[in-house]
Amino acid sequence: MKKILIYTALLIVPLSLISARYFDELSFPYWPSYKYLEIDELSSISPQKWITEDHVLEGWDWSLPPNTKPAPSSLVGLQRNIGLHKDFKDLNLQFESNSVGILWVKWRDIEKEPGVYDFSKVIKRIKQAKKVDTDILLRILCHARSRGSDDKALQRGDAPLWLDNYHIDLLPQKTPKHNINYNPASPVFHYQYLKLIDALGKTEIPKLVKAAYVGYASPSFGDEGIGPYGEKNSAANDTVPHVRERLDAWQNAFKGMESKIFMGGPCDYGFQKGFGVRRGYVEMYYYNIPNHDLGQYLDENGYLMVDENSPILKNKTFNGEVNEEYEEDWATSNRGFRFGKDTSGFPYRYFMSNLRALQMRCTYIHTTGHLIPEMLPFISLELGRTVEDTPDVWSFLTTSYIGSKYYQNHDYRNRQITDQEKSYGIELKNFERWLYQRDAEGYETTPAVKINHPIKMWMMEKGKYYDYIARSGQKIGFDIDDRWNEGKKLAIKVSYFDQNKGGLVLKYNAGEMQKAISTEGDGKLKTATFVLPKIQKNSMDHAFDFTLESNLADENIVVSMVRVINY
């Protein structure tokens, strides 16, 4: 068959665009400057424009076909009210999203006297939210007697103070700023808690809400966790009688609607009931590698893998994350410089955290700040997908170095650690969603485009606090998951660094079909879109579906992200 080589016209479309260290914005040149968007500014966000022809634009491309709808199981938390006195707002979103409001209420505001339950204000607030097209995720805070050590500490608590009359023992305060919690294992507290959940189940709330949270006593605000054991030893919570009885109570309250329940930590006893889980630290975007419940692990070559038979994914339960700590205060001493000593790295962290949440197959995310506005409509359409219904598949060619001891301490698959990995860290490769980039003979790649971390994340190899966000090679091979149902027409979007004067060539259908673009060597990040018909599966070398290649024998291409989209 005659080879068909098409050079795409160059159409440039500009985009609207723990140990802290100092970096200026020149360290993060491929993302916008820091700008935190408030709730009232969400109506200004629009999806990135979908273009139906071959083209090249500067920057990233988060567009999807305009007829794409959110997955039914997807939820995006865009506003949170703590207490019952504030209305939920009409966000007037200009993009498709299953947006929800998050309502935190205190037990002490529901049961002001023992045995007298008043859920009327909770119901009123839920119904008010529905009038502005906002479904509610409900969290009832139950355990803190007080928070802090000043004269307002008792006022900040969540549990009814009449519990003091029963002489319930208190858990020790972690630091003067933390909670003093009633002990959930106390027989009296446990009895009163079960009565509260039983009363909740007798109201219309289980039918009204989109989801509801069950947590546990935690040192910090929010009733984090699910039992007395932390996440590293979370399996032990399955054996704790009062934890099981609490989950039984929630199951009874939401009978026939168990999928609405999500826990503050993993617990197999809850998973067996159909409950989901919400974690809360995706801002540290390499955490939970490895993780049994999420099916996260590194294979022998360092590729980040997803076991879809893991407890959360197998049962298709609520799978939540929180990507919210982007206010300027997080780069000050008030917050311990948690994410650096200035905000210059915040947009990059937002970018990486969103991609990691999608790599973890999340169905829900609570997100704030929206530092890269074009990503929010994209995330709204990506959450809750499976290989059967995803509108696109993609691979982000990142590389980083995880500490081998950290990995071994959390390993559940007995991965062999090489001597080199013990000395230099385990090379972690790629965030992927059903599109796999793999090195093979003739298709070798090396990490490229180094981005320094503003902080020293605990799971990283010491001295390697950086990411590479691309891979360089003469030829790079990609394999689409064979389960994905390709449409009659595809768009392949390639985000690349324009490092050399030459060309980037897309090859498919046994190499007999090709498309190409010219490169200018200006060093800019660009995204090329190639529109093509359905391609032959596994037709290229090493059973790749398509390859990206340099048209110059002595020059490499540098590729960061590839998306394949049905339309």
> What backbone phi and psi angles, to 5 degrees, belong to 526?
-135, 160
Q: How confident is the model at residue 21, as a pLDDT? A: 60
User: What one-character DSSP code corresponds to residue 87?
Assistant: P
Q: Which residues contact 385 (CB under 8 A, 6 or more apart)?
A: 71, 74, 361, 391, 433
pLDDT, mean of residues 403-423: 97
Nearest to 97 by CA among 379, 468, 477: 379
Q: Which residues contact 420 (CB under 8 A, 6 or more apart)?
A: none
Q: Which residues contact 367 (CB under 8 A, 6 or more apart)?
A: 76, 77, 78, 322, 323, 324, 354, 376, 379
pLDDT at 346 over 90: yes
pLDDT, mean of residues 440-457: 97
Q: How confident is the model at residue 188, as a pLDDT? A: 98
Averaged pLDDT score across all residues of the chain: 95
Q: Which residues contact 256 (CB under 8 A, 6 or more apart)?
A: none
Note the CATH architecture for domain 4-12+473-566: Sandwich (2.60)
CA distance linking residue 364 with residue 322, whole number of Å:
8
pLDDT at 421 over 50: yes
pLDDT, mean of residues 156-169: 98
Tokens at 128, concatenated: 């008010």
CA distance linking residue 235 with residue 232, whole number of Å:
8
pLDDT, mean of residues 132-137: 98
> What is the value of pTM for the model shown?
0.94
Find tokens 């879809």 and name the residue: 308
User: What one-character DSSP code corresponds to residue 37?
Assistant: B
- Of the pLDDT bands very low, low, confident and very high (cuts 50, 70, 90), residue 363 is very high
Which strands, in side-by-side order, build the sheet including 513-520? Answer: 4-7, 513-520, 501-508, 546-550, 475-480, 435-437
Give residue-wise pLDDT tens across range 135-150: 999 999 999 999 999 9
Sign of the torsion angle spanned by Cα atoms 504, 509, 510, 513? negative
- Bridge partners for 564 per DSSP: 393, 492
Give residue-wise pLDDT tens across range 80-94: 999 999 999 999 999
Q: How confident is the model at residue 12, as a pLDDT? A: 38
Q: How confident is the model at residue 37, as a pLDDT? A: 98
CA distance linking residue 293 with residue 285, whole number of Å:
17
Q: How confident is the model at residue 6, as a pLDDT? A: 39
Tokens at 21, concatenated: 């260290």
pLDDT, mean of residues 87-107: 98
Q: Which one has a higher pLDDT value, 24 or 161?
A: 161
Q: How confident is the model at residue 22, as a pLDDT? A: 54
- Of the pLDDT bands very low, low, confident and very high (cuts 50, 70, 90), residue 26 is low
Considering only 19-33, 342-356, 412-426, 480-494, which range has the smallest mean pLDDT?
19-33
pLDDT at 235 over 90: no
CA distance linking residue 291 with residue 231, whole number of Å:
10
pLDDT, mean of residues 253-275: 97
CA distance linking residue 81 with residue 102, whole number of Å:
6
pLDDT, mean of residues 392-417: 98
CA distance linking residue 431 with residue 359, whole number of Å:
6
What is 470-525 written as a DSSP string?
Answer: EEEESEEEEEE-TTS---SEEEEEEEEE--SEEEEEEEETTTTEEEEEEEE----E
Q: How confident is the model at residue 13, as a pLDDT? A: 39
Cα 564 → chain centroid: 20
Report, in angstroms and rounded to the nearest whole number, the Rg of the chain calculated over CA atoms: 25
Q: How confident is the model at residue 23, as a pLDDT? A: 54
Please measure the distance between the N-terminal and C-terminal CA atoms of the chain and give it in whole angstroms.
Answer: 27
Share of the chain above pLDDT 70, in %: 95
pLDDT at 306 over 50: yes
Q: How confident is the model at residue 487, as a pLDDT? A: 84
CA distance linking residue 153 with residue 176, whole number of Å:
10
